[in-house]
Amino acid sequence: MPYPPIRLLGAHGTKTPKRPHEWNPFQTAQLAALFHPDVELVISETAVRTGKTGVMAAFNRYMAQKNPGVMGLWIVESFKWYNRIAHRTCVELFGYEAHWHHTNHTWTWRQYGGSSVMVCTYQDLQSMQGATAGWGCIDEYQNIGEDSYKELMQRISDRRVKKPTVFITGLPVFDSWAHELATTRGAVPGSEGKKGGHKVVAFEAVP
Residue 25, C-beta contacts closer than 8 angstroms, at least 6 positions apart: 207
Query: Which stretches in the chain have pLDDT values below 70?
Result: 1-21, 193-194, 205-207
Residues 6+ apart with CB under 8 A from 154: none
- CB burial string 109-134: b at 16+ within 10 A, e below: beebeebbbbbbbbeebebbeebebb
Query: Do 8 and 61 contact (CB within 8 A), yes or no?
Result: no
Q: Which amino acid is at 151?
A: E
CB count within 10 Å of CB 157 equals 12
**SS3 assignment, position 8:** helix
DSSP 112: G
Alpha carbon distance 144, 138 (integer Å)? 8
Output the pLDDT for position 205: 60
What lies within 8 Å, CB to CB, of 90 at 6+ separation is 57, 98, 100, 107
Nearest residue to 188 (alpha-carbon basis) of 68, 50, 40: 40
Segment (H or E) for 189: strand 188-189
Torsion on CA atoms 33, 39, 45, 48, rounded to nearest 10: 40
